[in-house]
Amino acid sequence: MSATGTATAAISDTLIDEIRGVVGAEGLITDPAATRVYECDGFVLARKSPQLVVLPASREEVAATLRLLWQAEVPFVPRGAGTGLSGGCLPLQAPVMVGTSRLRRIREVDVANRRAVVEAGVVNLHVTRAVAEHGLLYAPDPSSQGACTVGGNVAENSGGPHTLKYGVTTNHVLGIELVLPDGRVVELGGVVDDVPGYDLRGFAIGGEGTVGLVTAATLRLVPVPAAVRTMMAVFGSVDDACRAVSAIIAAGVIPAALELMDRLIVQAVEDAYGFGFPTGAGAVLIVELDGLADGVAEQVEAVEALCRESSADEVRVARDEAERAALWKSRKKAFGAVGRLAPNYCTQDGVVPRGSVPEILRRISAVAERQRLRIANVFHAGDGNIHPIILFDERDEDEVRRVLDAGREILEACVDLGGSVTGEHGIGVEKIEQMPLIFSPTDLRVMAELRAVFDPLSRCNPGKILPTPGACVELGAPRRQVPL
């Protein structure tokens, strides 16, 4: 069964006029030079420009646009800020892209009940900024949170460093307003967490934009913790750092974040931001502890002792908010610093059981050696969510091929260790081929059938997540790099 639409499907002038009637001239992009901006997301190995980009400014405009596309039998792909890392909004078999960049309203902040209703195009970090004065925050914090949108986060079920303690997007979204591919608007979930019926909200979150277009979400807000301490521990090797991670978890401490950077990354980050990491460090662990003041102080001591027992050369607690911010900048912008190491890089997003992190790192080194590549590691050690960064030069065709092979081998190793091929970036087009590694043909068929409940004619983001004959992507060399 192949997807029905193809990217070459004709879009009639009448359809364009009708859509213009809905969204106005300012909500329509047809100029090929301008649509080219939308040719890829953060996964730069695959590119394709949409023929038409529609930017509706309200739920009603989205619904009317999707109805027109439905009637004209034209598939579309939803898009947030385009910071995705798996090609989820690549207009693969859909000529039309529907973007959420004009759905920017924060509709409601309900401080008493700690929730906010925000439109899909609102930037993640702007939610926290809007509620900070009330002592609240929106917990999921992907590294791209200054750019990525809530709608995109819902589509990808995004994570971030603080998911270890707080969970991912699905744990913080009470309800979504979804426009089905035929233009009908449904509310899934609600303002409380006890809505009768199957948890369709839970199914749609992480659906990578294949079940409709999310126009708004009701978000759970959490109180800013009373105390936060962020510390850095320097180790001679990643093995020692991993031992410390295990010891911390075994001691019953659940840090808010537990992030590991290896030698290559530490060096690049130090060169770029000058935080003061010892340049010879084999690994740096960033540990953030939050909660009530007394318990946090107790945990800081415990973690420091455990790090030292695991042979840490140095343990340093950030003195103030400025130092804490500098430390997090080093982590969240680590990918930006990688540009100093090589002209290009691509990153993977595998997951292994926490206890298998040292083993997967060993296997990654072996892959690097075999494929003659440099691979740096900066990742969510507490979740077992690895982000190997493969360095390369796009001008070297043979190297590009080896990069793709290495990525596949690393993901296969993750599955072999009982893990998954993606912890937070999504399948998109990038990892479609790996889906059969973790799911049976029955699992995949059921997924396809469930998706069809929402989108029976594959009109919404066709060719994603599930392997189908028409979904092969020609991977090329990247032209630009987007930080994680």
**In the block, residue with structure tokens 């759905």:** 103
> Quick one: 419 or 462, whose CB is closer to another protein?
419
Least gap, CB of 349 to another protein (angstroms): 9
> Quick one: 404 or 447, whose CB is closer to another protein?
447
Q: Which two tokens stand for residue 364?
A: 């990654």
Least gap, CB of 292 to another protein (angstroms): 5
- Residues 454 and 198 sit within 8 Å (Cβ to Cβ): no
The residue type found at 101 is S
How far apart, in whole angstroms, are the C-alpha atoms of residue 115 and residue 138? 9
Q: Which two tokens stand for residue 469?
A: 């004959």
> Quick one: 52 or 241, whose CB is closer to another protein?
241
Least gap, CB of 156 to another protein (angstroms): 7
End-to-end CA gap in the chain: 34
Least gap, CB of 432 to another protein (angstroms): 10
In which element (H, E) is residue 259 found?
strand 257-262
Least gap, CB of 163 to another protein (angstroms): 7
Least gap, CB of 152 to another protein (angstroms): 13
Query: Which of 283, 393, 289, 391 has the alpha carbon at shortest distance from 337?
Result: 391
> Quick one: 97 or 154, whose CB is closer to another protein?
154
> At a CB cut-off of 8 Å and minimum separation 6, what does 298 contact?
none
Query: Which of 351, 230, 227 has the alpha carbon at shortest distance from 296?
Result: 227
How far apart, in whole angstroms, are the C-alpha atoms of residue 428 and residue 439? 16
> Quick one: 393 or 443, whose CB is closer to another protein?
443
> Quick one: 50 or 206, whose CB is closer to another protein?
206
Least gap, CB of 184 to another protein (angstroms): 6
Least gap, CB of 197 to another protein (angstroms): 4
Least gap, CB of 258 to another protein (angstroms): 12
User: What is the DSSP code (8-state) at residue 339?
Assistant: G
> Quick one: 172 or 324, whose CB is closer to another protein?
172
> Quick one: 31 or 198, whose CB is closer to another protein?
198
Q: Which two tokens stand for residue 347?
A: 């990153």
> Quick one: 161 or 336, whose CB is closer to another protein?
161
> Quick one: 101 or 153, whose CB is closer to another protein?
153
How far apart, in whole angstroms, are the C-alpha atoms of residue 262 and residue 254? 22
Least gap, CB of 428 to another protein (angstroms): 10
Query: Which of 71, 65, 73 has the alpha carbon at shortest distance from 100?
Result: 65
**In the block, residue with structure tokens 């989820």:** 88
The helix/strand/coil state of 338 is helix
Least gap, CB of 249 to another protein (angstroms): 6
- Residues 135 and 149 sit within 8 Å (Cβ to Cβ): no
Q: How many CB atoms lie within 10 A of CB 294?
A: 10
Backbone Cα Rg of the chain: 22
* 103, 109, 110, 116: CA torsion to nearest 10: 50
> Quick one: 125 or 435, whose CB is closer to another protein?
435
Q: How many CB atoms lie within 10 A of CB 325?
A: 12
How far apart, in whole angstroms, are the C-alpha atoms of residue 36 and residue 30? 10
Q: How many CB atoms lie within 10 A of CB 341?
A: 16
